[in-house]
Amino acid sequence: MAKVAVVGLGGMGSRIARRLIDAGHELTVWNRTAAKAEPLGVPIAESPAEAASRAEVVITMVADPPALQAVTEGPEGVAAGADENTTVIEMSTVGPAAIERLGSAVRADVLDAPVLGSLSEAESGTLSIFVGGDEHVFERRRELLEALGKPIYVGPSGSGAAAKLVANSTLITIIGALGEALALADALGLPREKAFEVLGTTALAAQAERRRPALESHDYPPRFPLRLARKDADLIAELGLDLRLTEAGRSWLAEDGNGEQDYSAVLERITRR
Ligand SMILES: NC(=O)c1ccc[n+]([C@@H]2O[C@H](COP(=O)([O-])OP(=O)(O)OC[C@H]3O[C@@H](n4cnc5c(N)ncnc54)[C@H](OP(=O)(O)O)[C@@H]3O)[C@@H](O)[C@H]2O)c1
């Protein structure tokens, strides 16, 4: 079992920490809002640097690139406490540029290992984990990652972060496509019941079935907050590529709305037009 530090205990990080504790690892944790660390019942470090200095593996799971910089750089950051024997496993969705920056900030080995799957998958250890970095380092840390889900090695440093943007581009376009297909059905006078029957024969069948209960109850329990989905759409947009469908999906996500609600609540806005 390993000495592990988990830095960032939001919806995902807190569940990842809990699984590692349950798997028998020796944990130290740190979170900007310290109160969120207390329920885990493990030592709480004073800073990310202190957490890193106590661990052989440091997992970072924070909101976005500025948050990653805040917890890894400067005198209090992970880089100040990690050394060449440490492995930093960066699991947030931050894109390849942030991973490059992290790699030059720390002396440690770095794996980028963002995840697909949400709160329930983090809780049950069934995340898909896209891993970039040195393959030997990955093999050394494979077992630890397997406590969290299914690791898929995708290539050198930054490849995991790239893979995650690819995966999330599909979320962004599919939610828009589903909303617009339903809006079209409404406008043409097809009852919802029939619209779902029709969508069940198309490439969107699984997604339509999955979103149907929320669409019918108008209740979208938060799993993947809209503010994080917007952040991912922005990370893709910053690449400056000609991705017109992703851009269209991004325009739906960017409309006003409570960023704390689940991103799928965008369906409500598209179909109410
Ligand atoms: N939720 C999902 O379904 C899901 C699924 C896959 C991937 N992801 C990705 O996983 C990452 C974490 O998601 P989450 O759902 O756990 O988000 P979250 O619940 O919003 O938690 C965000 C974490 O980042 C910390 N943070 C934010 N800004 C910070 C700053 N400037 N300095 C230090 N810490 C900061 C927060 O600290 P405080 O507690 O102090 O605010 C909290 O620990 C994100 O990159 C997200 O895109 C999420």
pLDDT value, residue 217: 94
Distance (angstroms) between ligand 1 centre and the Cα of 192 equals: 36
Per-residue tokens: 158: 């930054």
If asked whether residues 210 and 132 sit together in one domain, one would say no
The answer on 136 and 170 residing in a single domain is no
Residues having CB within 6 Å of any atom of ligand 1 = 8-13, 31-33, 36, 61-63, 66-67, 70-71, 92-93, 115, 118-119, 223-224, 228
Domain count, the chain: 2
Domain final residue pick, 110, 130, 156? 156
- Burial of residue 8 (number of CB atoms within 10 Å: 0-12, 13-18, 19+): buried
Q: Which of the listed residues 128, 156, 184 is the one where a domain comes to its end?
A: 156
Distances (CA, A) of 152 to 12, 108, 116, 133: 19, 21, 11, 12
- The pLDDT score that the predictor gives to residue 257 is 75
Say if residue 142 is in the same domain as residue 42: yes
- Give, for ligand 1, the residue of 12, 223, 253 to mutate: max count of ligand atoms closer than 8 Å to Cβ: 12
- CATH value at residue 171: 1.10.1040.10
Enter the pTM of the model.
Answer: 0.96
Percent above pLDDT 90 for the chain: 95
Tell me: do 22 and 125 sit in the same domain: yes
- Expressed as residue numbers, the domain containing 20 is 3-156
Q: Which of 156, 179, 198 is the last residue of a domain?
A: 156
Residue 6 confidence (pLDDT): 98
pLDDT tens digits, residue range 152-192? 999 999 999 999 999 999 999 999 999 999 999 999 999 99
92-117 pLDDT tens trace:
999 999 999 999 999 999 999 999 99
Banded pLDDT at 255 (limits 50, 70, 90): confident
Helix (H) or strand (E) holding 112: strand 109-112
